[in-house]
Amino acid sequence: MVHIKDSYLNILVCKMAVYLNPCLSLPINLAENEFEDLIQKLKDWTIMHGGGMRSKKQYSNDSLTVVPFTLLPSVFPRSEFQKAVSIQPALNELTHYVSNDHAFLYSCLEKTIEVDEFTRNLFNLYETVRSEGFAQRISLGMLRSDFMQEKEASGYYIKQVEMNTIASGFGWLGIVSGDIHRFFFQQMGLLDKLKMLPENKALQGLCSGIIKAWELFNDKDSVILIIIENQSMNVCDQRFHEFEIARQKPELNVIRKNLTQIANEAKLSDTKDLIVQGKKVAVVYFRAGYTPDHYHSEAEWSARLMIERSKAIKCPNIQYHLAGTKKVQQALATPGMLERFIKDTKKSTDIRKMFTGLYALDLNEDGDKAVKMALDCPERFVLKPQREGGGNNLYGEDIRHKLTSCMNSKERSAWILMDKINPPVQQNYLIRPNQDFKKNSSLCDVVSELGIFGIILCDGDNILINEQVGHMMRSKLTSCNEGGVHAGDGVLDSPFLI
């Protein structure tokens, strides 16, 4: 017999109980074979509704495996969810202003680029196109701000983990996760729970941003270019963007290429138009290019430079990419800095409340203090390099090793230190492909991270569209440091608002 645990019943009894013991038994006990049937049905539902990914173990362009997901959605305070949703336009704006402030970007990154080759390459590319004069004034940000809950005296409050400005994924899979949980509740006859799952239109919103940018480009024969990795594991998430663009704008063509193919096949015309397969590109949407692994040789860097030089609207352009570095996040948290960009005091106060401690590690007195703090108590921190895509941060003893090894070296400036957020632990069942009954039916301790999507379309400083468009949630075992779904530890989840 499997007793499906429910994180919600006790909340009805006492709202605060979730902070103490988030699980109670639901009055639903399933026989083992019923539970197995249910899980298989949910997996089939998921893969048949676009919840798939390529298998890392047996990669094939012709097959998909089901995405991992939680059986139950995770409890999330409605007020904190609303807070994250309503602050997104201000965060979009902040990112836009930061991306257009050369002096600020330089001051944030000048020490880092001395020691971090990848960030240096990005920065040099930025300086090159800046000195030549940007060919396109229009910018498009498709952003995702990630949050975890942190316990404070009177309850749990959201804290920002990071802001993603490039390849912000799960606009589609975020929707699928909520729908898996809707289907689960429907199958269990728990129709009253459906209203606790918030509506999510992330994909539609993100794609409408791309389409609006294409319309501004104002050339009906032009196309959208999506830059992908050589092997796209997250192919469903990416493809559904294409399908949604086709749904909203049937006449608009989308081309997918990796940077190597762009180096070989694309051209920049005399008038700085980016030409791919004989078509003028209106919008370049990067789902790759955020890690050194995507630049196999100089060719991929020259492809990126060609794109940045072109008149195409880039999502993101190189300045937005740099505005998403951890170093910029850390600099914004220093006193007065955020307030330089966000003049509205209410907005800046609300944003600042979501920041957790962030510290520079440069070779100076403040850096020394931060290093000492981390060496004294590494469990309290996360050590982060300027990388994206998960799996790059250091924790616990690894922080000590790293900092000890570069104690007196400029290499410290490649990293930032961040207070570790301690989200509430909930119990859930993690359903993964090719897993046996025992694993499917074992209750695990998990923590979740909420991502809020935003789009911002600007012509120079003129903001044309600035919206929050949807959300995604991922959960991971408490024993895992990082929860990237494709890195292997994270699973899709959705918020259950109380």
Rule CB under 6 A: which residues touch ligand ADP? 146, 161-162, 356, 382, 384, 387-390, 392-393, 418, 420-421, 449, 482-483
Give which of ligand ADP, Mg ion, none residue 418 binds (C-beta under 5 to 8 Å, depending on kind). Answer: ligand ADP
167 Cβ contact list (under 8 Å, min separation 6): 286, 287, 288, 289, 290, 388, 389
Under 8 Å between Cβ of 464 and 458 = yes
Dihedral (CA of 358, 495, 77, 86) sign: positive
Minimum Å gap between C-beta 36 and ligand ADP is: 30
Between 161 and 374, name the residue whose CB sits nearer to ligand ADP. Answer: 161
Residue 298, marked binder: no
Q: What is the distance between the alpha carbons of residues 436 and 439, in angstroms, rounded to a whole number?
A: 6
- State the nearest-atom distance from the C-beta of 19 to Mg ion, in Å: 25
Residues 6+ apart with CB under 8 A from 339: 345, 348
Select from ligand ADP, Mg ion, none the partner in contact with residue 449, using the beta carbon and a kind-dependent cut-off of 5 to 8 Å. Answer: ligand ADP
Does residue 342 have a known ligand-binding role? Answer: no
Among ligand ADP, Mg ion, none, partner that 420 touches (CB below 5 to 8 angstroms by kind): ligand ADP
The dihedral of CA 243, 235, 495, 206: what is its sign? Answer: negative
The listed partner (ligand ADP, Mg ion, none) that binds 318, CB under 5 to 8 Å by sort, is none
Is 238 annotated for ligand binding? yes
Query: Closer to ligand ADP at the Cβ: 185 or 290?
Result: 290
Closest contact distance (angstroms) between CB of 155 and ligand ADP is 18
Would the annotation count 162 as a binding residue?
yes
Render 159-170 in DSSP notation, one character per residue: EEEEEE-SS---
Which 3 state secondary structure label does DSSP give 463?
Answer: strand
Least CB distance to Mg ion at residue 161 (A): 6
CB of 46 to ligand ADP, least distance (A): 22
Q: Which is nearer to Mg ion, 43 or 287 (CB)?
A: 287
Question: What residues make contact with Mg ion under the rule CB under 5 A?
Answer: 162, 164, 388
Query: Smaller CB distance to ligand ADP: residue 54 or 384?
Result: 384
Is 270 one of the annotated binding-site residues?
Answer: no
User: DSSP assignment, residue 397?
Assistant: H
Task: Give the CB-nearest residue to ligand ADP.
Answer: 421
* Nearest-approach distance from CB 146 to ligand ADP, in angstroms: 6
Residue 58 tokens, joined: 């047996």
| Residue given tokens 């929050």 in the structure block | 468
φ/ψ (deg, to 5) at 155? 145, -165
264 annotated among ligand-binding-site residues:
no
The burial of 59, by beta-carbon neighbours within 10 Å (0-12 exposed, 13-18 middle, 19 or more buried), is given as exposed
Q: What are phi and psi of 452, to 5 degrees?
A: -115, 130
The answer to whether 92 is annotated as binding is no
Task: Pick one of ligand ADP, Mg ion, none as the site partner of residue 394 (Cβ within 5 to 8 A by kind).
Answer: none
Kindly tell me the sign of the dihedral angle through the C-alpha atoms of 328, 82, 213, 207.
Answer: positive
What's the distance, CA 174 to chain centroid?
Answer: 11
420 annotated as belonging to a binding site for a ligand: yes
Query: DSSP of 52-77, one letter per residue?
Result: EE--STT--TT--EEPPEESSPEEE-
Q: Is 387 annotated as a binding residue?
A: yes
For residue 483, the partner it binds in Mg ion, ligand ADP, none, with Cβ less than 5 to 8 A by kind, is ligand ADP
**Shortest Å, Cβ 275 to ligand ADP:** 32
Bridge-based pairing state of the strands 74-76 and 495-497: parallel
452 binds, among Mg ion, ligand ADP, none (CB under 5 to 8 A by kind): none
Q: How far apart are CA 466 and CA 83, in angstroms?
A: 17
Q: Which residues are annotated as a binding site for ATP?
A: 144, 162, 326, 384-393, 395, 418-421, 449, 476, 482
Q: Which residues are annotated as a binding site for substrate?
A: 238, 474
